[in-house]
Amino acid sequence: MDSALVLRGLVKQFDGLTAVGGVDLDVPVGSFYGLLGPNGAGKTTTLSMAVGLLRPDAGAVAVLGHDVWSDPVAAKRLLGALPDSVRMFDRLSGSELLAYVGLLRGMDPSVVDARAAELLDVLGLSDAGRTLVVDYSAGMKKKIGLACALLHAPRLLVLDEPFEAVDPVSAALIRDILHRYVAGGGTVILSSHVMEVVERLCTHVAILAGGQIRAVGSLDEVRQGRRLEDVFVSVVGGRVATGAELSWL
Amino acid sequence: MAVEQQAKAIHFVRLKLRLTRNGLRGQAWRIVLFIFGIFAGLWAALGGFALFTGAGVAGGDAGLVIVTFAGAGLTLAWLLLPLLFFGVDETIDPARFALLPVPRRTLLRGMLAAAFVSVPALATVVALLGLVLGAAVRDGAAAAVVAGVGAVLGILTCVVGSRALTSAFASMLRSRRVRDLAAILIAVLASSVAPLQLAVSSLIAHSDLDRAGQIARVLAWTPLAAPYAAYVDVAEGRLLSALVRLAIAAAAVAALVAWWWSTLESATIGTASGARSSSSASDKKAVAALFPAALRVLRPGRFSGLVAREWRYWWRDPRRRASLVSLMIAGVVLPMVMRASVRVDQSRMPLPVAVAFSALLAALVLSNQFGTDGSAYALHLLVGVPGRVELRARACALALLMAPILVLVTVAVAVLTQAQSQVLAALGVVAAGLGIAAGTSALLSVLVPYAFPESTNPFAVSGGTGGLRGLLAVVGSFAALVLLAPLLVFALITHGLVAGLVVLAAGVGWGGVGLLLGTYLAGGILDRRGPEILAAVTPRR
């Protein structure tokens, strides 16, 4: 078993429109996988199906050998996720939210207390005290979401746009945490449309556009000596504006 | 170059129609509901039309009484029902216009025009045409003109009043400092319904036209009924008092518009939710912090964690807080009113019946429990919380909140209305009612979940779901009432201490079975349909 996450023929349609049209993906254990794509490419839809939030019309998902849809309990124990499009129970304070997640996961209360305090400390959220998560800034919300995903020490992390709205200092911190997590044997798959992030962090890359994988492989295989951004633009379809338009600006 | 075009009220109307249409697209059940709503509106419109026409044609004292009571009832219904039950349609959210260069005057006109494009508003228009017709048939053209002006002022009072009241309320509940005040205000509103109902029902019971006439004459000088009564003055030749009544109505409309204007202003500025207490970092442990003091006796675990979070949410989530507070008030007021006013065969309404509705109402608040959480439910799906554990924990949290209140109310009402002998049976009915209604709600909540808009207005519903909310409440309470009926009948036909104890034991058992069975069935559905329920309660953006 060398894949942490396996997607096979995932299909999802909304009202007759195909959002994801047959995605296959193998995320090796210990890899740092970047899922790239323009807005509306189907990244969030794919990852939602991968973590069990959205039922695929067709296809299968396995987390470390456990099928997410037929054996959800085992799969979800190994999985930590940071969804982008959903709310959290945001009328709890940061530590209350972490305690809640820990208890839901069936963790020992004393372990929950210790890990929650450490996570809040490392992520710089201790100062927020009893502020409710709903009043957090966007970056702080990302960080508490990440803390919720990390709390039970999962073997696979699925992160949807983890760096969006995060300030550079926090981003560096999150990168550091994720690096150490991967070095310790964990696996990360994250989605992004920011090339720099993916180029700096990831060992593997898949480019998704129009609900299909357009390019996939290790970072060097996909780049083939070019800049990732150039590869991305040429794979996705490229820019057609020449600058001659909008002359009235 | 005419690149810019002034925004006009018609644009808002078109926006509302378009949003309504898009909301219905591809969702069969919404279309069915929408059509159901149209039929209900049509029925109400024709009923109101007949009532107002009949009153006009009848004329005299009876006519005046009917017109003023119907008018006041209509206005009160517009003002209070959105607060208590239906919510207000927030298809067009004024906050969305904050960044657009729309003058506030245009915004106000547009929002008002859009507010008229709704089934209740159109139904009211049709009903009020009856006022004009009745006046024209009996009293001629002049009266008809006054009736028409009155009808316009009346419906403006209704529509603007309900908008202003709900948005003012929403901003009150948003700020923590005044939330206690808001709770008191709801209490006042809710309890103001009770004496009114008392008065009307006793008037009907005694068919006392003279006293009704006195009350009608007072009501006709308040903004509640003044616009509807004005034409009666014309018919009787008192032109001046007709004008004064219209002026009262117009002043009320102006005041309401000004009030709405100011709340709109704060909505478009997007008042940040009041600064929350971010006092010194709590040095409490995380798990201990999650549990409210009253629940610290529970051993921390998955079930108790869920219960603790539900408790926190009943108070911290404005939408839940609003329904909890109105529920508590209704739970107190309803049994009092039923004991005090409704009479069956010259004896008072039996205590078990009087408290049964409070118990049913209390648990039916769970009938869209996933909708109130919205997409936050994703966390439970990610973790894989078993459906039965989840539903039982939610029911348990509510029962821990409501049961003490219901017991207190039952005992208090019994003592106040000299029904001590019925206390045991009534408590049994309360236990059964809570359990059965919680079980029924669990099933409803997994079978027909629906989304609330992501709005800070706790009374907001998205286009078309206001009707659903009402319909579900009716279906749920009817089903629960049918299940409760055997016990209720038994409690009514038996008397004495032993029988009371039997009813109490049977009620606890019956309620327990209802709760366990309901959550057992619903939990299985929840385990199978989790992602579909998440999709249903996620607000569409």
Confidence of residue B301 (pLDDT cuts 50, 70, 90): confident
* Mutation for A interface: B173, B283, B287, most A CBs within 10 A: B287
Name which of B6, B465, B308 is nearest A97 in CA terms: B308
Distances in whole angstroms, Cα of residue A51 to Cα of each of A78, A175, B106, B383: 11, 22, 47, 10
Query: With 50 as the cut, is the pLDDT of residue B275 above it?
Result: no
- Work out the average pLDDT over B343-360: 75
Q: Which residues of A touch B378 (CB under 8 A)?
A: 53, 83, 86-87
Of B162, B164, B136, residue with least CA distance to B150: B136
- Determine the Cα–Cα distance for residues B23 and B19; give it in Å rounded to an integer: 6
Going by pLDDT thresholds of 50, 70 and 90, the confidence category of residue B93 is low
Q: What residues of A are in contact with residue B276 (Cβ under 8 Å)?
A: 131-132, 135
Neighbours of B484 (CB within 10 A): 28
Close Cβ partners of B95 (under 8 Å, ≥ 6 residues apart): B267, B268, B270
For A98, residues 6+ apart whose C-beta sits below 8 A from its C-beta are A112, A115, A116, A119, A120, A144, A147, A148, A151, B286
Mean pLDDT, range B466-476, rounded to an integer = 70
Chosen for mutation from A130, A137, A152, A156 (greatest number of chain B CBs closer than 10 Å) is A130
| CB contact residues (below 8 A), chain A span 43-72, against chain B | 51-55, 72
Phi, psi of B223 (to 5 degrees): -60, -20
- pLDDT tens profile B391-418: 999 999 999 988 888 888 888 888 877 7
B233 or B4, which is more confident? Answer: B233
How far does the CA of residue B159 sit from the closest CA of chain A (Å)? Answer: 32
Domain residue ranges of chain B, discontinuous segments joined by +: 9-269, 296-537
Give the model's pLDDT for residue A49.
92
Residue B468 predicted with pLDDT over 80: no
| A-chain residues near B321 (CB < 8 A) | none
Write the pLDDT tens digit of every residue in A5-16.
999 999 998 888
Q: Is B286 in contact with A95 (Cβ distance < 8 A)?
A: yes
- Answer whether A14 touches B (CB < 8 Å): no
Token pair 């909540």 is at which residue? Answer: B445
**Quick one: average pLDDT of B261-288?**
58
Task: Nearest by CB to A54, from B290, B313, B531: name it.
Answer: B531
Please give the pLDDT value at position B337.
Answer: 73
pLDDT at B274: 40
CA contacts within 13 A on the Cβ side of B406: 30
Q: Which of B304, B309, B382 sits opposite A51 (nearest CB)?
A: B382
What strand order describes the sheet that includes A79-82? Answer: A79-82, A156-160, A187-192, A32-36, A204-209, A212-218
pLDDT at B272: 42
For residues A1 and B21, the model is more confident at B21
Helix (H) or strand (E) holding B66: helix B60-81
pLDDT range class, residue B421, cuts 50, 70, 90: confident
Q: Of B52-56, B193-197, B473-477, which has the strongest mean pLDDT?
A: B52-56
**pLDDT value at residue B514:** 92
- Amino acid identity, position A84: D
- State residue B541's pLDDT score: 55
Q: CA–CA distance from A137 to each of A140, A141, A146, A194, B454 (Å)?
A: 5, 6, 14, 21, 17
The pLDDT of B142-165, averaged and rounded, is 88
Across the interface, whether the CB atoms of B384 and A73 are under 8 A apart is answered yes
- Would you call B379 and A90 a contact, using CB atoms and an 8 Å cutoff? no
pLDDT of residue B307: 93
Rounded Cα distance, B263 and B254, in Å: 14
- Looking at residue B379, its pLDDT comes to 92
B515 vs A228 pLDDT, higher one: B515
CB pairs under 8 A between A and B: 135
Q: Quickly state the pLDDT bin for B177 (edges 50, 70, 90).
A: very low
Tokens of B158: 């209704």
CB proximity list for B3: less than 8 A, separation 6 or greater: none
pLDDT at B309: 92
Mean pLDDT throughout B117-144?
86
User: How many angstroms separate the first and last alpha carbons of chain A?
Assistant: 57
Amino acid at position B202, single letter? S
Asked if the C-beta of A104 comes within 8 angstroms of chain B's C-beta atoms, the answer is: yes
What is the tens place of the pLDDT at every residue in B107-125? 888 888 888 888 888 899 9
Residues in chain B, how many?
A: 541
Contact B375 A86 (CB under 8 A): yes
Let me know if B393 is exposed, middle or buried by CB neighbors in 10 A (0-12, 13-18, 19+). Answer: buried
For the ranges A3-12, A232-241, B175-184, B193-202, the one whose mean pLDDT is highest: A3-12
| Alpha carbons A34 and A42: distance in angstroms, whole number | 14
Domain locations in chain A as residue ranges: 3-86+154-236
What digits encode the pLDDT tens for the residues A80-131? 999 988 889 988 988 999 999 999 999 999 999 999 999 998 888 888 878 8
Is some CB atom of chain B closer than 8 A to the CB atom of A243?
no
pLDDT reported for residue B1: 40
Q: Which two tokens stand for residue B252?
A: 């009320």
Contacts of A90 in chain B (CB under 8 A): 376
* Cβ–Cβ below 8 Å for B286 and A105: no
Which of A53, A89, A132 is the closest to B381 by Cβ? A53
Confidence of residue A241 (pLDDT cuts 50, 70, 90): low
For A93, which DSSP code? Answer: B
- What is d(CA A43, CA A62) in angstroms, rounded to the nearest whole number? 18
Give the pLDDT band (50/70/90) at residue B424.
Answer: confident
Interface touch B312/A96, C-beta < 8 Å = yes
Split at pLDDT 50, 70, 90, the class of B271 is: very low
Residue B486: CB atoms within 10 A of its CB come to: 12
- Considering the four listed CATH numbers 3.40.30.10, 1.10.3720.10, 3.40.50.300, 3.40.120.10, the one that applies to the domain covering A3-86+154-236 is 3.40.50.300
CB A177 within 8 A of CB A187: no
Residue B206 has pLDDT above 70, yes or no: no
Separation of alpha carbons B101 and B116, rounded Å: 23
- Identify the top-confidence range among B88-97, B172-181, B306-315: B306-315
Give per-residue pLDDT as tens, A197-226: 888 889 999 988 888 888 888 888 888 888
pLDDT score recorded for residue B179: 52
pLDDT band at B490 (very low <50, low <70, confident <90, very high): confident
Q: What are phi and psi of B486, to 5 degrees?
A: -55, -45
Say which of B289, B302, B538 has its CB closest to residue A103.
B302
Retrieve residue B285's tokens: 């442990």
Contact criterion met (CB below 8 Å) for B335 and B410? yes
pLDDT score at B527: 92
For residue B198, what are the contacts with CB-CB under 8 A and spacing of at least 6?
A: B337, B340, B341
pLDDT digits (tens, 9 = 90+) for A125-183: 888 878 888 888 888 899 999 999 999 999 999 999 888 888 888 888 888 899 999 99
Angle (CA) B99-B103-B107 rounded to 5° is 85
Pairing state between β B347-348 and B343-344: antiparallel
Give the distance from residue A231's alpha carbon to the nearest chain B alpha carbon, in angstroms.
32
Are the Cβ atoms of A100 and B538 closer than 8 angstroms? Answer: no
DSSP B76-130: HHHHHHIIIII-EE-SS-GGGGTTS---HHHHHHHHHHHHHSSHHHHHHHHHHHH
Beta-carbon separation of A79 and B305 below 8 A: no
Q: Check if the beta carbon of residue B138 is closer than 8 Å to that of residue B56.
A: yes
- Interchain proximity B286–A87, CB inside 8 Å: no
Do A68 and B355 meet the contact criterion of CB atoms below 8 Å apart?
A: no
CA distances from B203 to B56, B70, B215, B226 (A): 21, 14, 10, 21
